[in-house]
Amino acid sequence: MIITTIEDLRRLAKQRVPRMFYDYADAGSWTESTYRANEEDFRKIKFRQRVALNLENRSLRSTMIGQEVAMPVALAPTGLTGMQHADGEILAARAAEKFGVPFTLSTMSICSIEDVAANTTRPFWFQLYVMRDRAFIERLIDRARAAKCSALVLTLDLQVLGQRHKDIRNSMSAPPKLTVANILNMLGKPRWCAGILGTRRRGFGNIVGHASEVSDMSSLASWTAQQFDPALSWDDVEWIKRRWGGKLVIKGVMDPVDARLAADSGADALVVSNHGGRQLDGAQSSIEALPAIADAVGQRIEVHMDGGIRSGQDVIRALALGAKGVYIGRPFLYGLGAMGEAGVTRCLDIIRNELDLTMAFCGLRDVQHVDRGILLPGTYPVPRLEVPA
């Protein structure tokens, strides 16, 4: 199969990854309206094509929170990455490192912080969920620091879990339930089965053996159900910032009011994100929310975004609307599930090529010069009037 688009990788991943894990990655909450809007709203945004301009010596190089990147794209934190492909977090981190873009490891990863650190040579980012067990969070932060992670990405939009119907139908949980239907489906994926049987990394490496009440996978489900903290507040953000002491990114901001609070917190960046449409169904798409947030706080804090990006054209649309950088989750998971490390590299190659060509067609040579001028007026979202606090 010739791979030319992210959609090609998605179709191949769907063939090769067991249904429960593919659906876990490729699904939204409730009716999935926000999940779909994340992609669809990008397609509404049109470009202004320019001609007869010097397009030699183009550059996609930029920075994200002070770190040089080959293009302004990072791999987003995604739970259970190691169930899309054996040792998935390690493979994705390696691909990102070789490409020159950041990799972000999820708290809910299969491979541990230490696993990824031992198999890479450059610092990666670590994503943190705030649990009720603050002693565990302190240890997790300390482990990230010991692994020389260069940024902490603090997710704020998972105080409660969105209802994801595909996960319910597939008996998807932590740990996953091996129903008869799931086992039969897995047996139809021999490449995936061989990889999983060939690795020792099949649990939640950041939690099992580290949380005081989780000595093995059998005790994980009850612990996880009790741990996400609905009382999370900006005071906790300040405590985490002090404990961490390094670069801090706030993920899950969808409103200018919260964006101002993120800027007030002293964080280095925020991520405009609706959790890939997996939390509040009926919320705005990320790209629709981006301009108002960028206008409100873009001079005070670095603004990133994720959600719905499926091409390099989507990347440049987000940059034009105020993002300093973007995160891709599902695209790299499709590549990982389809072809392992080579698939993640192919995903990044596709996005880089599409970003470079689109920038050229719009008459620019440097990605750092991208702004709303490359977009056709009337086709992109603009900030609304000030919203009440």
Binding residues: 24, 77-79, 106, 127, 129, 155, 164, 251, 273, 275, 278, 306-310, 329-330
**Residues in the annotated binding site for FMN:** 77-79, 106, 127, 155, 251, 273, 306-310, 329-330
Distant-in-sequence, close-in-space partners of 290: CB < 8 Å, separation ≥ 6: 272, 303, 305, 318, 321, 322, 323, 381
- 248-253/151-155 β-pairing: parallel
- Cα dihedral 326, 22, 123, 154 in deg (nearest 10): 60
DSSP letter (8 states) at residue 176: P
| Number of neighbours of residue 49 by Cβ within 10 angstroms | 11
User: Which position among 85, 165, 210, 275 bears the catalytic label?
Assistant: 275
- Cα dihedral 328, 227, 222, 211 in deg (nearest 10): 90
Q: Tell which residue, 330, 278, 256, has the closest CA to residue 34.
A: 278
Query: Cα–Cα distance between 87 and 108 in angstroms, integer?
Result: 14
**Residues in the annotated binding site for glyoxylate:** 24, 129, 164, 275, 278
Phi first, then psi, for residue 355 (nearest 5°) are -65, -45
Distant-in-sequence, close-in-space partners of 377: CB < 8 Å, separation ≥ 6: none
Instruction: Assess whether 304 carries a catalytic annotation.
Output: no
Q: How many residues in total does the chain contain?
A: 389
- Residue 105: C-alpha distances to residues 9, 75, 155, 363, 369 (Å): 21, 9, 12, 36, 30
Q: Tell which residue, 344, 330, 329, has the closest CA to residue 91.
A: 344
Q: Tell which residue, 181, 170, 157, 152, has the closest CA to residue 268.
A: 152
Q: How many helices (H) and strands (E) does the chain have?
A: 16, 10
Does residue 103 contact residue 354 with C-beta atoms inside 8 Å?
Answer: no
State which amino acid sits at residue 20: M
Catalytic residue ranges: 275
